Each structure stands twice: as structure tokens, then as C-alpha cells.
Chain A
């Protein structure tokens, strides 16, 4: 599970690192085209690149709603890192960074993601909490793992759509209670 740190200011930071068997160049190149990100970021519906620095993000929210914000690249170094922050006035105020470091030997590239956000209060806060899930660190874990699967295997493995026999959830639940 991703590491979580709670700062004194109330802001939270979550961090996760995974090693991906591709070059930093390949990984950086894919990530830097932000319109790719919804392919592995589960809650992000679309990212529209506005110019070289700025992008517009639309994310899924409960009850078929969406939340939107603009983000800009703060700093970047080709094949090494990208840092970004949401623009002021965004519904979701956060900043983040992704770093790509060659792993030892022939082990590929270590990809580290850090996201810092201030949990908002009120109705927006509740929406945001649902948006990132009860466990934002789990969301980050899963997003980053999907990134690895896409970059290594070219797909996210799935069993959706395969056949199975009759499911009986009620009966199954009752049986579990009996045993």
C-alpha cells in the first residue's frame, strides 16, 4: 500500500514506487502525453491538453456527476520528472510529481508518484473523498499498477465477459453463514 503522510498543516501526501521493465524514455514519453492518463487512472474520465504547460481534467464523481479542474506543469526534466499543481480556483486543490529513475542492472525504471492534497471540507470535501475512494493510497497503488501493466504487457488483464455458471449470491452468503 502506498505510504501516507499527514502534514501538520492538514495536507496529506501519498507516495508509491513501482519498478517497470521499460526505459525511462518510454515511460516518461507515455506519461507526458497527459491524454493517456485516463487509460490507467481509474477515476479520471478525460484530460485535455490546453497548451505546453496546462491541461484540463474531468473526473468521475458519484451519481453520474463530474468534477473538473485545470492543472499546470510546474517543473519538468525530460525522461526524469514532471511536477504539477492544480490552478487556483480548482475544486480539487493538489500538487504532485512523478519521477523516473533507472533501476539497478537490467531491472527497468523506478517510477515514483507523490501526490499532495488538502482534504477540503463540506459537500465538496465529501464528493472528493468519494472520488478518490475511501483510501486514496489504494487508488494510487492501483493506478500505478495499471500503468505498469499497460507499459509492460500492453494491456490490463481482465476476466470481464468470460463465461461462468449460475451465480447465487444469496445462497452463497447463507452457506457461508452456516459453515
Chain B
């Protein structure tokens, strides 16, 4: 089959590799019909995630048709149309039983590496380095899905791929970020980073009863998208001297009731703070550039919640813990507990409450994935979300 393989920092290629086979009786094999490039794939592309190997197949947002199932997968049959969770969960451990699926204790073959770094091994991910299990990803014609009885959600035939594909990651991730805010009526939710997760967090915040969303980014097309689909008040942070003060002005001096940090370890910023972080990260003294997180803490109103769907991986500097403590903030974060959200959000799509496909800006065949990564990386051509089609 053809598959997108990581070659090294800043380089990916489509290669011919062997087709995947059932290795374990809880596996399924999918013929991938649609797959997307995630913002977090850029962390791999940019070389910020250790333990990648040349030849690793990327991709954790995918859906397709079941072509084979292991004997122990009782809830799926050949021909089923399914969306896959980006993370892999066993369904049997303490955390899976409590629906904390992202904290699965049994899905990662390299649990020791993660446990050494973070003191605890989390769930494995598709196509996301050997630290996260080394499972081959879905930017390919076929993919092996382990623990397929847990991570695959059957979807109705009459919904286009594009309507349901984002149940694989960004819609549940944005939704959980909004849910983590504990939104109450009248709440104003500020969101840093209007990429696909930020867009999904914005529409989810409205679904959950927020009064208004403030969208923060520096790319006009992303801000326009948030205005159009979430009625957001758009703030281009490059056009303001003091974003935190600006946000207070927008909220009657209170600050937003919740702050969602949908940026993660590669935040961009203006001013000396941004240069400080960039230098430290380049020489690997710091593993993230937490500008947006710092701003979120400073802006959030006292007693509010900072919700972090943005991915962090190590240590960061100059966290305003004094402000966080003084304001009695609540922090909620972590990888999305996918199976908890996939079915309820599919129901919302089926009922027509929303159609997440509005985030798609580029549609390309899998063969053009290397170009797609480049365009997405540079945010050229107003690129926000790329869907790849592996089909003939």
C-alpha cells in the first residue's frame, strides 16, 4: 500500500510499504477513505517529539471501511463504515472503566518510556512517535486498529466522510476543552489559537450555553472563520500592545470567565518574552513556548477556569503561578477521552446541530501529502485544515 512516512525533521514522503495485517485478535484493518493532517502532526514534522524513526507512518485522524476483524472484535463486521479515535484504549483498566480513556494503562507497548518522562504511562496514539506506542498511523491506504472494539465508532452511510471525519480528534478535543470550562449561562469564553481545535471549541462553547466567544489568533482567515461560524469577537493579537488589558476591556474589566489554550508548545508571540522562549526552546532548555498559556492565566477572571487542549510535553518557564493562585483559578487539561464524546457528538451531527466540515480548506490526494504538510506548516494559501484522500 501507499503510506505517508516520516523521514526526518521537516521531511515526509509517500512510500510503498507492506499492507497491515491482523496481529492481535482485538485488531481490525480499515481501508482508509479519508484522513486529515492535525496541527499536532506539525510537532512531529518540526522535530519537537522525540523517538520518531525514519519510516514511521503518520496520521491519527482517519476513517474508513472495516475490511477485516480479529476474532475477539464482536461489535464490528466487514464492510462497516467507521471513524477511529486518535488514541488507543483497552477498555479494561481502572482509567478506561472510569471513562478516562486517554489515561489507558494497557495500550502502549512503550509504556516504560512515557512512565520515565511523566511518572505514568498514558494511552498510545496512532502515528505519534514511539513514546506513544509506535503504532503505524492512518495517513495510508490501510491501517491496523488495535483494541478495535473500543476505538471505532460506526457511522451512518448517508453522512459524507467530511461531516464525520473530525469525530476522530478535533471535534471531541474542542468539545472537551469547552466542557472542561464548566460553562454557565452568561459566560464569556476566550480561546487562544483558532486552528481546527479552537474552531471546534468555539462552536462547542456555544452549544454548551456560552454567551459569547472571543477568538484570538494572528491569521485573519482563522479569525474570519470564527466570526462566521461561532459569531466570535475576533482579536488579532498582533494588532494590540497588551492583549490581557484588551481582553479585560472587552469584558467590562472582569476578564473572560474561562480561557481555552488551544495552541500548545509552539506558541508564537511578539515582544521580548517570545524571543526568550524561542531561544530557550531552540537550545532545548525549555520544551515549550507557553506564551498563550501565560496570557490565559493573566486574563482569566478570578475563580474562572483555564482549559488546556493544546499539547505540552515537558517543562516550561515563567508560569505566573502567583496570579493563578491569587485568582483561585481552576486548571483542566489533558488528552481527550475520545470514546466518551464520539457517539454523543455523532448524534449532534446527525440531528443537524452542527457540521464540522466548515474547517476544511484543502482537499488533496494522499500522494500530495508532502506538499500538504508544507502548505499547512507555513499556513500558506490560508490553510486551516487539510483532508487527504487515499482512494484511487
B26 and A155 contact, CB distance less than 8 A: yes
Question: Is A153 an interface position by the 8 A CB rule?
Answer: yes
Q: Which residue of B lies closest to A103 (CB)?
A: B94
Tell me which of B20, B54, B107, B147 contacts A162 (CB under 8 A): B20
Q: Which residue of A lies closest to B107 (CB)?
A: A157
A109 to B133, CA, bound (A): 26
A164 and B136 contact, CB distance less than 8 A: yes
A19 to B105, CA, bound (A): 11
Question: Is B24 an interface position by the 8 A CB rule?
Answer: yes
A139 to B90, CA, bound (A): 24
Question: Is A107 an interface position by the 8 A CB rule?
Answer: yes
A142 to B17, CA, bound (A): 31
Residue from A21, A107, A155, A163 with most neighbouring chain B CB atoms (10 Å):
A163
Tell me which of B13, B53, B108 contacts A172 (CB under 8 A): B53
Q: How large is the interface on B (under 10, 10 to 19, 20 to 34, 35 or more residues)?
A: 35 or more
B9 and A179 contact, CB distance less than 8 A: yes
**What secondary structure prevails in chain A residues at the interface with B?**
loop
Please encode chain B, from 2 to 26, with 1 for each CB lying within 8 Å of some chain A CB and 0 for all others. 0101111100010101111101101
A148 to B111, CA, bound (A): 12
- In chain A, positions 120-165 with a C-beta closer than 8 Å to chain B are 141-142, 145, 148-149, 152-165
Known contacts A155-B24, A163-B18, A163-B20; is-contact A142 B112 (Cβ 8 Å)? yes
B133 and A157 contact, CB distance less than 8 A: yes
Across-interface contacts of A19 in B (CB, < 8 A):
94
Q: For the complex, count residues of A whose C-beta is within 8 A of B.
A: 30
A159 and B134 contact, CB distance less than 8 A: yes
Question: Is B182 an interface position by the 8 A CB rule?
Answer: no
B109 and A164 contact, CB distance less than 8 A: no
Known contacts A159-B109, A167-B53; is-contact A175 B3 (Cβ 8 Å)? no
A107 to B93, CA, bound (A): 10
B24 and A158 contact, CB distance less than 8 A: yes
Q: Which residue of A lies closest to B88 (CB)?
A: A157
Known contacts A163-B18, A164-B5; is-contact A153 B106 (Cβ 8 Å)? yes
Across-interface contacts of A155 in B (CB, < 8 A):
24, 26
- B242 → A minimal CB distance (Å): 37
Question: Is B304 an interface position by the 8 A CB rule?
Answer: no
- B276 → A minimal CB distance (Å): 22
B106 and A165 contact, CB distance less than 8 A: no
Q: Which residue of A lies closest to B57 (CB)?
A: A164
Contacts A/B (CB < 8 Å), 18 sampled = A21-B94, A107-B94, A145-B111, A155-B26, A157-B24, A157-B107, A159-B134, A159-B135, A163-B1, A163-B20, A163-B57, A164-B5, A164-B53, A164-B57, A164-B136, A165-B7, A165-B54, A167-B53
